[in-house]
Amino acid sequence: MKHSTVERFMVNFNFKAMRKITKALLILMVFIPIAFSSCEKFTGDTDSISGAWRCVEESGAINPRQYSVTIYRAGAGFDSTYFVINNFHNIGNEVDTYVQLIDTVITIRDINGYNAAGEGHVSRDFKSIDWNYSISGEYVRALYFKR
């Protein structure tokens, strides 16, 4: 049985197409798991205060309120005990609040443009912070819960 030129071309074409499809599938099988593993939502360290937090805050001057904050390690020029809180006291993400964590006590060190002092106590599982502080003459009690 003799194969025509068209049949030989089709067999050769199908073989080349199958090799390309197989190669593409192998590449996808390698890169898809990498892509999904690099798209995890940032929630912070499980053994640190870094991450996204929910705050419930109350004081004599304002009604109880809830808002979100983000805590991350301070950068160059600070030791590993320093962290930055964005949106501390709901004053905005553009204001950095510098705090220091020693053991389970977190202390306010500086808030750009605000007179603030106080400290919080971090739970041993790093899932909550119980704050007592004053800012611009207002006494505040706040609870942070890790999201």
Domain with 11, as residue range(s), is 1-40
Separation of alpha carbons 2 and 62, rounded Å: 92
Q: Quick one: 80 and 140 in the same domain?
A: yes
The domain that contains 135 carries what CATH number?
A: 2.40.128.120
Asked whether residue 104 is assigned to any structural domain, the reply reads: yes
pTM score of the predicted model: 0.68
How many other CB atoms sit within 10 Å of the CB of residue 35? 9
Total of domains in the chain = 2
Query: Do 125 and 90 belong to one domain?
Result: yes
Query: Are residue 74 and residue 103 in the same domain, yes or no?
Result: yes
Task: Determine the Cα–Cα distance for residues 52 and 25; give it in Å rounded to an integer.
Answer: 37
- What confidence tens digit (pLDDT) does each residue in 71-105 have? 999 999 999 999 999 999 999 999 999 999 999 99
